[in-house]
Structure 1
Amino acid sequence: MIQRSTRFGHLLRSFRDAPSSSSSKIGGYLLASTASSPLKQACVSTNRDDEFANLDWDNLGFGMVPTDYMYIMKCSKGESFEHGQLSNFGNIELSPASGVLNYGQGAYEGTKAYKKEDGRLLLFRPDQNAIRLKNSAERMCMPSPSIDQFVDALKQTVLANKRWVPPPGKGSLYIRPLIMGSGEILGLGAAPEYTFLIYVSPVGNYFKEGLAPLNLYVEEEFDRASRGGTGGVKSITNYAPGLKALTRAKNRGFSDVLYLDSTNKKNLEEVSSCNIFVVKGNAISTPATNGTILAGITRKSIIDIARDHGYQVEEGTITVDELIHADEVFCTGTAVGVAPVGSITYQGTRMEFKTGAQTVSQQLYFTLEAIKKGLIEDKKGWIVEIDQ
């Protein structure tokens, strides 16, 4: 249920009307903007002195935990995003005729923040999320923030919610940036106004199995994406159509669904919310991002890490029949990280794969996580530290 929020509208109008050199206090944080860099805002906590929120950090799942603040920025059709602000986390006001509610005009991203033992806060390749969101927004006929605006907004949001970043080794702060057509539009068309919003939640493992191997079911009745569609971007319209297949698979005891291409029903595409990799000896294969498959940032990072470890990585076509010859299979994604696959069931046949210690997926997982958490040297410039 969407509730009216007059305070939200008042805050937004106040921020828009403020001079470029002004500062204002929103939700207990001092926000100072400058004409040269409207998003370079100083966030100083005035009412949150506790280091960590009161949460059971040892039992985090992947669910929504309301935090303290969210970030909001608006612009009209044909204009660019300029000024944003932090606001108390809560419901927002939308017209029943908004483009996102009626026509699904929206796109989102997902990334994470981590806390080091010394208290430093780290982001992983946020510029790549900014680029991908721009591509998604263009496909959905929406404006998008610049890379600098996007990264700066992420930093502000994480810093404002730093007490919700789990202690080292206990999880991460999941960050959800999204763009939506918030303006009213009755006939089919692009909305007249857009909202860029970021909210966060502390999370643990995405799958209920934790780090245990996944059991996938090959879906043949439903398609995830088709040529010329939106499978290659993070449109909000991509996900609800997969719920029926996912629910059916989970009711049968599987972890998730593995989709095939919509044309031939023979080639591997994606799992519901992550990319897939197949290992045979020293060779690692993954479906090519040809417009129907999302170019995952974790996918891209794992390809680079695997090549650094001496593996031969190929991006191309993988038929479902080739799975029977695989040594290992694993999935990658922001939410799932690197998740080993224990079995895949296709047309009644269950194929099992190597998991556990000394596997390729485990080696790549530990390397990726060590980079994300600042435990080993970042030689690729992937880590962005948030100044506190």
Structure 2
Amino acid sequence: MIQTNSGLRSLVQSLRPITSSFSEIAAYCCYTSQAASALQQVSRPNSYSEDEYAKVDWDNLGFGITPADYMYTMKCSSDGKFEQGQLAPYGNVDLSPSAAVLNYGQGLYEGTKAYRTEDGRLLLFRLDQNATRMKMGADRLCMACPSIYQFIDAVKQTALANKRWTPPRGKGTLYIRPLLIGSGPILGLAPAPEYTFLIYASPVGNYFKEGLKPLNLYVEDEFHRATRGGAGGVKSITNYAPVLKAMARAKSRGFSDVLYLDSANKRNLEEVSSCNIFLVKGNTISTPATSGTILQGVTRRSIIEIALDHGYQVKERAIPVDELMDADEVFCTGTAVGVAPVGTITYQDRRVEYNVGEEPVSQKLYSILEGIKTGVIEDKKGWTIEI
């Protein structure tokens, strides 16, 4: 049983898991439509006071681990059904040395954030998209996965239990990390006999050390982030360690991050180590198509929809690296990075500078997106959920 104070016990009891009305979903498009209705089933907001903040230097908050109070855990065995999860104090996880995640990398993760409004309410953003993406990744890696309803409910519980760790508006966000791992022991190469769904949270500031300053990217043509037929299009934990060498080499030379090319031809843009990329030319915004090697970012999709709503032409297509030389503006998107302008890109000793001056397109789109996330702009799309 979870050990908690009376306040948290009441919270846990008031946040009963949403029961899924279906046992199987035939297509991923059904996930999103059914999850949309779940987003309307929101918890009643707590009353707000300044005393609810944790003791954190909000003005100097970087992107690192500052563990919030509680984490969420839910398990399933070989039947593929996840039992009711529970909140517990943040702490270490007990794993067998033969757990599939440790031996064969059978694991996925997601990233989402809780946003503080001006009057202290908490908003979550497009959780159905994160839940859908985890479903797709679990299918790719042969893993059992929580339902979309279970995912959304678990994130809501975690965010609300850790409300005091959500920074004041304009000071940062509460980053929430759902994990799905093969926790069951296995020796031969096979799917795990047990899976664990975990969520923890940490208050964060800007992802890049430059803060809101434009990024300086380096185009990598030796190492590759993903290959056709691989797992680059899902948020597998195995996608990220391989980029560390290229990142470290680029950062030692003064660059912010690495922009990768396709592994087949070393010709078309893919994505940055942990975010998607966009090019602007006149009224047209282009971004690499998600054709299996590129992650379908939630922020990416949101920026595309906002741009279309505001009269821009958006093209999802193969983008030759040479087009970098002629772009008016370049920017990156991701849950962690938000919308980050790119100041320069270096490719084979050619360095190109981009517009980061008066009213760049990325800033316009970023302002609208952040306004929706923080309740400043009316959410007419049903993207946010108040807890």
Corresponding residue for residue 32 of structure 1: 13
- RMSD value over aligned CA atoms? 2.2
Code of the residue aligned with 1:350 in structure 2: it is R
Post-superposition offset of 1:32: 2.7
Q: What is the CA–CA distance in structure 1 between the aligned matches of 2:173 and 2:180, rounded to whole Å? A: 23
Q: Is the 8 A contact 1:33 1:41 kept in 2?
A: no
Instruction: List alignment gaps of at least 5 residues for structure 2.
Output: 21-40
Code of the residue aligned with 1:153 in structure 2: it is A
Code of the residue aligned with 2:237 in structure 1: it is I
Post-superposition offset of 1:143: 1.1
Code of the residue aligned with 1:32 in structure 2: it is Q
Corresponding residue for residue 64 of structure 1: 65
Corresponding residue for residue 292 of structure 1: 293
Deviations 1:62-96 (A, max 9, x none): 00001100000000123211310000001010011
Q: What is the CA–CA distance in structure 2 between the aligned matches of 1:132 and 1:204, rounded to whole Å? A: 25
Corresponding residue for residue 233 of structure 1: 234
Corresponding residue for residue 24 of structure 2: none
Shift in alpha-carbon separation, 1:35–1:307, aligned structure 2, 3 A: closer
Instruction: List alignment gaps of at least 5 residues for structure 1.
Output: 1-10, 12-23
Q: Is the 8 A contact 2:19 2:149 kept in 1?
A: no
- Is 1:120 matched with 2:101? no
Corresponding residue for residue 25 of structure 2: none
Corresponding residue for residue 384 of structure 1: 385
Corresponding residue for residue 18 of structure 1: none
SS at structure 1 position matched to 2:301: helix
Q: What is the CA–CA distance in structure 2 between the aligned matches of 1:35 and 1:168, rounded to whole Å? A: 29
Corresponding residue for residue 211 of structure 2: 210
Q: What is the CA–CA distance in structure 1 between the aligned matches of 2:318 and 2:146, rounded to whole Å? A: 34
Q: Is the 8 A contact 2:15 2:43 kept in 1?
A: no
Corresponding residue for residue 244 of structure 1: 245
Code of the residue aligned with 2:378 in structure 1: it is E
Corresponding residue for residue 31 of structure 2: none
Code of the residue aligned with 2:256 in structure 1: it is S
Q: What is the CA–CA distance in structure 1 between the aligned matches of 2:75 and 2:42, rounded to whole Å? A: 17
TM-score (normalised: structure 1): 0.90
Shift in alpha-carbon separation, 1:26–1:194, aligned structure 2, 3 A: farther
Corresponding residue for residue 164 of structure 2: 163
Q: What is the CA–CA distance in structure 2 between the aligned matches of 1:365 and 1:110, rounded to whole Å? A: 18
Shift in alpha-carbon separation, 1:187–1:213, aligned structure 2, 3 A: same
Shift in alpha-carbon separation, 1:153–1:299, aligned structure 2, 3 A: same
Q: Which has the higher contact order (CA 8 A, sep 6+)?
A: 2
Shift in alpha-carbon separation, 1:318–1:167, aligned structure 2, 3 A: same
Q: Is the 8 A contact 2:281 2:327 kept in 1?
A: yes
Q: What is the CA–CA distance in structure 2 between the aligned matches of 1:284 and 1:34, rounded to whole Å? A: 42
Code of the residue aligned with 1:282 in structure 2: it is N
Corresponding residue for residue 319 of structure 1: 320
Deviations 1:44-74 (A, max 9, x none): 99xx994100000011100000110000000
Q: What is the CA–CA distance in structure 1 between the aligned matches of 2:241 and 2:331, rounded to whole Å? A: 24
Instruction: Give percent identity, aligned residues only.
Output: 69
Deviations 1:6-61 (A, max 9, x none): xxxxx4xxxxxxxxxxxx7546521338998579999999xx99410000001110
Superposed counterparts of 1:299-378, under 5 Å: 299-378=300-379
Q: What is the CA–CA distance in structure 1 between the aligned matches of 2:179 and 2:18, rounded to whole Å? A: 22
Q: What is the CA–CA distance in structure 2 between the aligned matches of 1:279 and 1:272, rounded to whole Å? A: 20
Post-superposition offset of 1:356: 3.2
Shift in alpha-carbon separation, 1:119–1:347, aligned structure 2, 3 A: same
Corresponding residue for residue 29 of structure 2: none
Deviations 1:155-185 (A, max 9, x none): 1001110000001111100000010000100
Post-superposition offset of 1:144: 1.0
Number of residue-to-residue matches in the alignment: 362
Corresponding residue for residue 268 of structure 1: 269
Q: What is the CA–CA distance in structure 1 between the aligned matches of 2:44 and 2:129, rounded to whole Å? A: 24
Code of the residue aligned with 1:91 in structure 2: it is N
What stretches of structure 1 move > 3 A for 4+ residues in a row? Answer: 24-28, 33-45
Q: What is the CA–CA distance in structure 2 between the aligned matches of 1:238 and 1:127, rounded to whole Å? A: 22
